[in-house]
């Protein structure tokens, strides 16, 4: 039954995964079928029971199988949509002009409150914590009165930095000193400070493809060049391709979302994170880890950021409350380790400090347990929205449409029939009162021309459903 290469010990569990998925794709294992028991599989393959379990758990994470208590693992009923396919380009690119002006129009759409907001990644709005935050802020105002309108320190309010450090400790046992954390004006300024710390004008930065457009604009604005690294639609960055890229280009830093990347909404497996930091050390390349969606896994489990894997890699991790609590507070942070002094110096030169009242409010929001409770109630809403959106896409878009399989966050990435121009669809959608994000802006060479990103990070309404149906019909017409 099994044909594993035992010499390749690291990948034994992967080979089990491949075997199972091949059997599912071939129709040998059908939805509802029970997988071979751990013991049986171990015996048949000669692979240890823990390794088989690791493979099954990973398949569960990818939502290909589901575990039933006291019974075993079963093949899931697959959604109608096939998964998006990888695209890859390797040229060094700044953001091209056409993409710049399209980016402007996308933001005009995002900033227009009269449109149905499928274009913006704003998960916290799916179940806003406004009431709790307002109550907390009023308490802070009463207590800190005059101080609360004054300057925060450059690194940020100590109470908030302690809470963030505690959150890391509590979530995955990572030891972070509060003084290694610099509070920023949201995750975007965190990326700016991290990138300016490790690279300068003319340097080459490796990014995932597809990747968050804000990174591309930032890299371009600083006069740097982006080079794309291939991703797997279910596991993020392909390490082998990263190594090829590092050999071929003089990459100064990588800027990756290792957890719940945008727009794919998937996370790197732990084994890839370990390999990632090894590769970084080997090639002496820094990693800027965009971790702003980290707390939004649907299953509540949270992979460990690369920074905390105990390697000697130079990693700067960027976090934010924009995606989890209050985007308008503009409070994010960088964890900097040895780079923290330089980060602080740049923070001071670029914007002095961040808003104190919001920092005091978020510190109390975390300390009271309200933040954890909020996350626990937010992620199921996001998961439900995600499933609804995928189901509606399967129903209303052409059959050849493929989608990502987000395991968290608030966005769905769609590969439309090749003839469909996403820019045209974007323009038509704006005309119909719907904002979406065309695929072009997620790559420095604007290659995702028949892709779009849809957001499910807002309260689900009839309007949302109507908008998805409208888009499906429009795609039918354009294909």
Report the interface residues with a copy of itself, using CB under 8 A: 100, 104, 107, 110-111, 120, 122, 124-125, 128-131, 133-134, 137-138, 141, 145-146, 148-154, 185-186, 188-189, 192, 196, 200-201, 214, 217-218, 220-221, 223, 322, 325-330, 341, 345-346, 348-358
Instruction: Judge whether 182 and 333 are in contact, CB under 8 Å.
Output: yes
**DSSP 3-state assignment of 315?**
strand
Nearer Cβ to a copy of itself (209/327):
327
Kindly state the smallest distance separating residue 218's Cβ from a copy of itself, in Å: 5
Kindly state the smallest distance separating residue 163's Cβ from a copy of itself, in Å: 18
Tell me the β-bridge partners of 208. 229
Kindly state the smallest distance separating residue 137's Cβ from a copy of itself, in Å: 7
Nearer Cβ to a copy of itself (123/439):
123
d(CA 289, CA 197): 13
Kindly state the smallest distance separating residue 249's Cβ from a copy of itself, in Å: 21
Nearer Cβ to a copy of itself (17/325):
325
Sheet architecture: strand order including 411-415: 82-83, 402-403, 411-415, 451-455, 437-438
Nearer Cβ to a copy of itself (141/271):
141
Kindly state the smallest distance separating residue 473's Cβ from a copy of itself, in Å: 29
Nearer Cβ to a copy of itself (26/142):
142
**DSSP string across 117-139:** E-S---GGGGS--HHHHHHHHHH
Kindly state the smallest distance separating residue 430's Cβ from a copy of itself, in Å: 16
What length does the chain have? 479
CB atoms within 10 A of CB 230: 18
Nearer Cβ to a copy of itself (107/470):
107
Kindly state the smallest distance separating residue 220's Cβ from a copy of itself, in Å: 7
Nearer Cβ to a copy of itself (460/470):
460
Nearer Cβ to a copy of itself (141/391):
141
Kindly state the smallest distance separating residue 85's Cβ from a copy of itself, in Å: 29
Nearer Cβ to a copy of itself (67/154):
154
Kindly state the smallest distance separating residue 24's Cβ from a copy of itself, in Å: 41
Q: Is 476 exposed, middle or buried (0-12, 13-18, 19+ CB in 10 A)?
A: middle
**DSSP string across 347-363:** HHHHHS---HHHHHHHH
Kindly state the smallest distance separating residue 285's Cβ from a copy of itself, in Å: 22
Pairing of strands 82-83, 402-403: parallel
**DSSP 3-state assignment of 301?**
coil
d(CA 49, CA 40): 9
Kindly state the smallest distance separating residue 82's Cβ from a copy of itself, in Å: 33
Taking Cα atoms as reference points, which of 198, 261, 201, 254 lies closest to residue 227? 254
Q: At what angle do helices 370-396 and 356-367 cross, to 10 degrees?
A: 90
Nearer Cβ to a copy of itself (126/280):
126
Nearer Cβ to a copy of itself (52/140):
140
- Residue 400 carries which DSSP code? T
Nearer Cβ to a copy of itself (274/364):
364
Kindly state the smallest distance separating residue 186's Cβ from a copy of itself, in Å: 6
């Amino acid at each position: 039954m099994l044909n594993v290469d035992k010499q390749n010990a690291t990948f034994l569990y992967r080979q089990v995964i491949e075997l199972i998925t091949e059997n599912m794709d071939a129709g040998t294992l059908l939805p509802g079928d029970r997988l071979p028991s751990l013991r049986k599989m171990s015996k048949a393959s000669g692979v240890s029971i823990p390794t088989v379990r690791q493979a099954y758990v990973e398949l569960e994470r990818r939502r290909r199988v589901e575990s039933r208590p006291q019974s075993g693992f079963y093949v899931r009923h697959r959604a109608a949509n096939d998964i998006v396919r990888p695209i890859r380009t390797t040229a060094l690119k700044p953001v091209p002009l056409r993409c710049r002006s399209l980016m402007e129009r996308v933001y005009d759409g995002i900033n227009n409150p009269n449109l149905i907001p499928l274009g913006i990644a704003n998960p916290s709005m799916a179940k806003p914590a406004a009431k709790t935050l307002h109550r907390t802020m009023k308490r802070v105002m009463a207590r800190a009165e005059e101080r609360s309108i004054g300057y925060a320190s450059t690194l940020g309010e100590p109470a908030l930095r302690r809470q963030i450090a505690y959150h890391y400790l509590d979530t995955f046992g990572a030891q972070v000193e509060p003084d290694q954390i610099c509070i920023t004006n949201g995750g975007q300024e965190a990326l700016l400070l991290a990138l300016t710390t490790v690279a300068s004008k003319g340097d080459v930065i490796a990014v995932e493809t597809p990747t968050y457009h804000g990174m591309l604009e930032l890299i371009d604005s600083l006069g740097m060049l982006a080079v794309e690294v291939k991703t797997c639609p279910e596991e993020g960055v392909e390490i082998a391709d990263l190594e090829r890229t590092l050999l071929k280009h003089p990459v100064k830093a990588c800027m990756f979302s290792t957890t719940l990347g945008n727009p794919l909404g998937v996370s790197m497996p732990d084994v890839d994170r370990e390999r990632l930091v090894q590769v970084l050390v080997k090639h002496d390349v820094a990693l800027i880890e965009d971790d702003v969606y980290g707390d939004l896994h649907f299953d509540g489990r949270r992979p460990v950021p690369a920074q905390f894997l105990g390697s000697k890699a130079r990693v700067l991790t960027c976090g934010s409350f924009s995606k989890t609590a209050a985007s308008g507070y503009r409070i994010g942070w960088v964890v900097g380790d040895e780079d923290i002094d330089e980060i602080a110096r740049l923070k001071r030169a670029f914007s002095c400090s961040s808003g104190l009242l919001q920092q005091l409010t978020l510190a109390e929001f975390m300390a009271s347990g309200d933040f954890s409770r909020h996350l626990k109630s937010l992620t199921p809403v996001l998961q439900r929205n995600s499933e609804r959106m995928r189901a509606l896409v399967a129903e209303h878009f052409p059959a050849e449409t493929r989608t990502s399989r987000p395991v968290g966050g608030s966005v769905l990435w769609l590969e439309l029939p090749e003839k469909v121009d996403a820019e045209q669809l974007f323009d038509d959608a704006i005309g119909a009162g719907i904002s979406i994000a065309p695929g072009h802006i997620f790559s420095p060479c604007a290659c995702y021309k028949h892709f779009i990103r849809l957001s499910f990070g807002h309260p689900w309404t009839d309007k949302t459903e109507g908008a998805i149906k409208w888009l499906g019909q429009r795609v039918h017409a354009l294909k």
